[in-house]
C-alpha cells in the first residue's frame, strides 16, 4: 500500500503530468483539493473512494490535522491512495506536513511533483518570471501567512531590496497590505505589478498596474490568484497570449452525446472557451440481425455511430457495393476501416444525398440509420424506383441536463434535432427561452424554430468544422 502526493498543476488539465494521470486513473481512493480541476478529478475510477478536502479562506472542508488523519486511515486499508493537490505538493502546498505524518506512521508514500502556479500562471499571462537584462532571479513568497502568528516570518526589508521578480502565492486578500509593506521598506511605488486570477483556466484575468495602485486595480478579483512584482510584469501587454484567444471568457455549452462531444469540446477549449458539457442525448445501440451487405447495390450510412455498429469487423462483404455517406464524420469513420465512400453529398443532409445518388431505379438499397430518423431519404429513394430496406441501428435517449449548466451561457451548440427536443424535455419549464443557439444545419435549425428559438448562427458546411466557424462568427 502506498499514498501518492500528486501535484495536479495550476488548473489546466493539460498541465497534469503523465505520472499524475496514471495514478489518478488507477486510484483506490482520491483525496482532492478545491483547486484540483473537476476534469482531473473525473479521471478517477468510478469505484474509487472520493474525499473532498478543499479549503477556501474562512471555509475549510477539513482541517490539515483531519486531512493527515484521513490519509493515515485510507493508507491503512487501500493499495493506492492519491492525495491530489493543486500546483506542486511541496511549494506552499503543505505536502511536507502530510509526508511527515505518513512517515511517522510508517506508511509508504511517494511524491509526484506538479507544475507550480508560481511560474505557470505568469507564463499563461505572458509574463516570464525571469528575463535576460531585467530579472536574473525569482523569489517565491507566501502571500498569506498564518494569521495566528504574532509576527511575520517574512523579511520585508530584504524582499523590498531583492532584485528580479517577486511572486506571491495566494494572499489576494492581503494585497493592499503586502504592497504597502514593500513600499514602506523601500521598493519604488512605480514598480510594475500584476495580479492574475484563475490562472490557466478559462476565467483567467490579468491586471497590471504600478505597485502603489495594484490593490485598487485588482479590486473584485478573487482567489485563486497570484501577485507578481517586478519589471517583467510590464511584458504582459506584449506577450499575453492566453487571454487573447478568440473565445476567451465565453461560455459555450455542448449538447451532443458524451461519447462524441470530446472532440468538439477540445476544439472549443483550444479557442479559449469555457466549455460546459451538457449532453442532452446518449447513443443506445439496438439489437439487429447483421444484414448480407453483398446483397445490396448501395449501402447508405448516415452517421459515424452507424458505421461503428454496422461494420464492427470484416468489411470485405462491401466489395462491389457502392457506399454512400452523409457528413464528414461518417466519411472519416469509414476511412478508419479502410473504406472510401463512393458517394458523398456536398451538403450533409438527406436531400443532398438523394441528388448525388442519381438514377437508382431497380437498385437494392440499405439505409443504416437511427431509430426515428426522417423518412426523406428512404421515401425519396422509393419514389425513384429503388428497393429500400431501412435498418435502425441505434436510438438517441434523453439525458438529464441541469438548467443551471445551460442557462446563462453565451452560446449553446446543437448538433442534431434530437439534441434540441431532448434538451427542451430536460429543461421543462421555460424550454429554450432566451438561449443563444448555434445550429449544425437546416434540419436542426427547423427543429429549433419549432421550439420557438431562432438560431443565432447556422453552420455552413453542416458539420463540426462548420459549427466551429459559426461559433467564432457569433462570439469572437
- Catalytic residue annotation: 33, 55, 170
Q: Specify the residue for cell string 521598493.
A: 187
Backbone angles phi, psi at 220, to 5 degrees: 90, -15
Q: What is the DSSP string of 147-193?
A: TT-SS-SS-HHHHHH--SEEEEES-GGGHHHHHHHHHHTT--TT-EE
C-alpha 30/C-alpha 52 separation (Å) is 8
Q: How many C-beta neighbours within 10 Å does residue 164 have?
A: 17
Look at the alpha carbons of 181, 184, 187, 193 in this order and tell me if their dihedral is positive or negative.
positive
Q: Which three cell numbers stand for residue 461?
A: 458546411
User: Where do the DSSP E strands lie in 269-363?
Assistant: 274-277, 281-285, 298-301, 322-325
Closest residue by Cα to residue 52 from 73, 67, 65: 67
Burial degree of 442 (CB within 10 A; 0-12, 13-18, 19+): middle
DSSP 290: P
- Sheet of 364-370: strand order equals 281-285, 387-398, 364-370, 298-301, 322-325
- Are the beta carbons of 211 and 186 closer than 8 angstroms? no
Kindly calculate the radius of gyration of the chain based on its CA atoms and give it in whole angstroms.
28
Measure the CA–CA gap between 445 and 455, rounded to whole angstroms: 6
Please state, as a whole number, how many other Cβ atoms lie within 10 Å of the Cβ of residue 239: 12
Ramachandran quadrant class, 272 (left: phi over 0; alpha: psi -120 to 50; beta: rest): left
Amino acid at each position: 500500500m502506498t499514498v501518492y502526493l500528486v501535484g495536479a498543476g495550476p488548473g489546466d488539465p493539460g498541465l497534469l503530468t503523465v505520472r499524475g494521470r496514471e495514478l489518478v486513473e488507477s486510484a483506490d481512493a482520491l483525496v482532492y483539493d478545491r483547486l484540483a480541476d473537476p476534469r482531473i478529478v473525473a479521471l478517477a475510477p468510478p469505484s474509487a473512494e472520493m474525499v473532498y478536502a478543499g479549503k477556501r479562506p474562512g471555509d475549510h472542508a477539513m482541517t490539515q490535522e483531519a486531512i493527515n488523519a484521513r490519509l493515515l486511515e485510507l493508507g491503512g486499508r487501500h493499495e493506492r491512495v492519491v492525495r491530489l493537490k493543486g500546483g506542486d505538493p511541496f511549494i506552499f502546498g503543505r505536502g511536507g506536513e502530510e509526508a511527515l505524518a505518513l512517515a511517522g506512521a510508517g506508511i509508504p508514500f511517494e511524491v509526484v511533483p506538479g507544475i507550480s502556479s508560481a511560474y505557470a500562471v505568469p507564463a499563461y499571462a505572458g509574463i516570464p518570471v525571469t528575463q535576460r537584462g531585467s530579472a536574473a532571479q525569482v523569489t517565491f513568497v507566501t502571500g498569506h501567512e498564518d494569521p495566528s502568528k504574532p509576527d511575520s516570518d517574512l523579511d520585508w526589508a530584504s524582499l523590498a531590496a531583492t532584485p528580479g521578480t517577486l511572486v506571491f502565492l495566494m494572499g489576494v486578500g492581503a494585497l493592499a497590505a503586502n504592497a504597502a509593506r514593500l513600499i514602506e521598506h523601500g521598493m519604488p511605488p512605480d514598480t510594475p505589478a500584476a495580479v492574475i486570477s484563475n490562472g490557466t483556466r478559462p476565467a483567467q484575468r490579468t491586471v497590471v498596474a504600478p505597485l502603489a495602485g495594484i490593490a485598487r486595480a485588482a479590486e473584485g478579483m478573487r482567489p485563486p490568484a497570484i501577485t507578481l512584482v517586478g519589471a517583467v510584469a510590464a511584458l504582459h501587454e506584449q506577450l499575453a497570449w492566453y487571454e487573447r484567444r478568440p473565445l476567451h471568457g465565453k461560455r459555450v455549452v455542448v449538447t451532443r452525446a458524451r461519447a462524441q462531444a470530446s472532440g468538439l469540446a477540445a476544439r472549443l477549449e483550444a479557442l479559449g472557451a469555457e466549455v460546459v458539457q451538457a449532453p442532452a442525448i446518449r447513443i443506445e445501440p439496438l439489437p439487429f440481425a447483421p444484414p448480407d451487405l453483398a446483397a445490396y447495390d448501395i449501402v447508405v450510412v448516415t452517421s459515424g455511430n452507424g458505421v461503428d455498429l454496422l461494420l464492427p469487423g470484416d468489411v470485405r462483404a462491401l466489395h462491389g457495393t457502392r457506399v454512400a455517406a452523409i457528413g464528414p464524420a461518417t466519411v472519416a469513420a469509414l476511412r478508419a476501416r479502410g473504406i472510401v465512400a463512393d458517394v458523398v453529398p456536398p451538403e450533409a443532409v438527406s436531400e443532398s444525398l438523394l441528388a448525388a445518388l442519381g438514377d437508382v431505379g431497380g437498385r437494392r438499397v440499405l439505409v443504416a440509420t437511427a431509430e426515428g430518423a426522417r423518412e426523406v431519404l428512404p421515401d425519396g429513394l422509393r419514389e425513384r424506383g429503388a428497393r429500400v430496406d431501412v435498418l435502425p441501428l441505434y436510438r438517441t435517449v434523453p439525458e438529464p441536463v441541469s438548467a443551471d449548466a445551460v442557462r446563462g451561457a453565451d452560446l449553446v451548440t446543437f448538433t442534431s434535432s434530437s439534441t434540441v427536443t431532448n434538451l427542451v424535455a430536460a429543461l421543462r419549464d421555460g424550454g429554450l427561452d432566451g438561449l443563444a443557439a448555434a445550429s449544425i444545419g437546416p434540419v436542426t435549425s427547423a427543429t429549433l424554430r419549432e421550439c420557438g428559438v431562432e438560431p443565432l448562427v447556422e453552420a455552413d458546411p453542416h458539420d463540426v468544422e462548420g459549427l466551429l466557424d459559426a461559433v467564432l462568427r457569433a462570439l469572437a
